[in-house]
């Protein structure tokens, strides 16, 4: 257990694993998976470790996916991209803009690899991958059978998809298909982008603007270990939302499909967590939705306990129980984080 994952997880946690392999082809991935599963070792696929929290050492095999390749076809109205799962997402966005293929610019600087994008249905600034995803190719690494799911099959929702369901845990995402209209229409519906409408806007300008925003709001993991937003923004009923507005008239919200979407960062801010430091763990000063390993020497359990403190404090104050966005990994694999949160409810 002396194989370190420290540089392979963005929380900068000092955790070890039994074996680490970096793979560049699908055949090797399946061979390793089958070999270690037969020995009853847990197996885990990682892209860049940007959305995971390891609670302690992992007693199994970690496969670092670097299966790359971007393939472009075009029709009269669309660009069609087939992208392998080991590609870096932000580099893909830069690549498309360089090729004058537009549409992904609002999703600039989201960390991680392409393979993790549909799992979370990554999104930012009024856009999400479900808007462009035509299909996702998955493989059962034991049977070697490949299956293609179209957009509807993926059951995309806010930070959710079918790939989080139990029935799909045995599959690995190997590639995705994206379709991007040749007729580009800027997506400026997000509040902080609306002022760009009258500035001869281009995809490159939107890309640059969003990169600047994200760099200001999100700390670089090499400075403060973090996994971006730790919690999802909650959706609550209109009835509950309007009751809260009577108590907190300055509460920001967005109305969506007969629900009220709140800012988890704002809820956390109201509980004064910016002044709270627990074993080197705190919230980022510029964005309370981000939990940081401030001195890069905290443990996974320290971070989890701090997150549970936020969960309970926000829940008791607002009767809103935040849902973690980050994947939680224990000794043997991914676990349901709500088990920890609800069991430590006080």
Q: Is 154 left (phi over 0), alpha (psi -120 to 50) or beta?
A: alpha
Q: Which of 229, 288, 298, 299 is catalytic?
A: 229
**Chain centre distance of CA 236:** 22
Provide the edge-to-edge strand list for the sheet that holds 172-181.
70-74, 78-84, 172-181, 133-139, 146-150
Instruction: Give the residue from 25, 51, 8 showing the smallest Cα distance to 232.
Output: 51
Residue 236, classed as helix, strand or coil, is strand
> How many Å apart are CA 177 and CA 90, to the nearest integer?
16
Cα pseudo-dihedral 212, 216, 218, 224, rounded to 10:
130
Would you give the distance in Å from CA 259 to the centre of its chain? 23
Catalytic residue among 48, 87, 105, 325: 325
Helix (H, G, I), strand (E, B) or coil at 62: strand
Please answer whether residues 48 and 115 qualify as being in contact, where contact means their C-beta atoms are separated by less than 8 angstroms.
no
For 38, how many CA atoms within 13 A lie in the half-sphere containing its CB? 8
Strand arrangement, sheet containing 235-237: 235-237, 259-262, 253-256
Rounded to whole angstroms, the Cα distance separating 208 from 311 reads: 34
Collapse the DSSP code of 188 into the 3-class scheme (helix H, G, I; strand E, B; otherwise coil) and give the result. coil
Asked if 239 and 255 touch (Cβ cutoff 8 Å), the reply is: no
Could you give the CA distance from residue 42 to residue 329 in angstroms, rounded to a whole number? 11
DSSP class of 344: T
Q: How far apart are alpha carbons 231 and 102 in whole angstroms?
A: 30
Give SS3 for 29: helix
Task: Mark whether 325 is an active-site residue.
Answer: yes
Distance CA 77, CA 101 (A): 12
Q: Is 143 a catalytic residue?
A: no
- Which of 50, 159, 299, 327 is catalytic? The answer is 159
Check if 159 is active-site.
yes
- Round to whole Å and give the CA distance between 204 and 6: 34
**Residues tagged active-site:** 159, 229, 325
């Amino acid at each position: 257990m002396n194989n370190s994952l420290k540089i392979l997880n963005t929380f900068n946690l000092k955790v070890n694993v039994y074996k680490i392999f970096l793979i560049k082809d699908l055949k090797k991935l399946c061979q390793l998976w089958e070999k270690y599963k037969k020995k009853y070792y847990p197996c885990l696929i990682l892209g860049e470790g940007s959305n995971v929290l390891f609670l302690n050492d992992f007693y199994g095999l970690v496969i670092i996916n670097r299966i790359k390749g971007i393939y472009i076809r075009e029709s009269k109205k669309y660009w069609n991209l087939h992208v392998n799962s080991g590609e870096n997402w932000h580099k893909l966005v830069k690549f498309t803009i360089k090729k004058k293929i537009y549409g992904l610019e609002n999703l600039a600087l989201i960390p991680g690899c392409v393979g993790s994008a549909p799992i979370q249905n990554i999104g930012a600034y009024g856009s999400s991958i479900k808007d462009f995803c035509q299909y996702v190719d998955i493989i059962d690494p034991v049977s070697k059978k490949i299956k293609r799911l179209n957009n509807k099959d993926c059951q995309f929702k806010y930070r959710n998809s079918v790939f989080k369901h139990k029935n799909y845990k045995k599959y690995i995402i190997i590639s995705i298909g994206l379709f991007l209209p040749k007729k580009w229409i800027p997506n400026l519906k997000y509040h902080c982008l609306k002022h760009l409408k009258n500035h001869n806007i281009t995809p490159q300008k939107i890309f640059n603007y969003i990169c600047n925003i994200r760099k200001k709001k999100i700390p670089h993991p090499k400075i403060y270990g973090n996994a971006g937003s730790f919690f999802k923004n909650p959706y609550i009923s209109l009835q509950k939302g309007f009751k809260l507005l009577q108590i907190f008239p300055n509460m920001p919200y967005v109305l969506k499909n007969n629900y009220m979407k709140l800012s988890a960062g704002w809820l956390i801010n109201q509980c004064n967590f910016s002044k709270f430091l627990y074993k080197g763990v705190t919230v980022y000063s510029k964005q309370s939705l981000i939990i940081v390993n401030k001195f890069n020497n905290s443990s996974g359990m320290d971070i989890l306990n701090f997150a549970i403190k936020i969960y309970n404090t926000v829940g008791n104050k607002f009767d809103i129980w935040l849902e973690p966005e980050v994947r939680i990994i224990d000794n043997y694999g991914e676990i349901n984080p709500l088990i920890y949160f609800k069991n430590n409810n006080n």
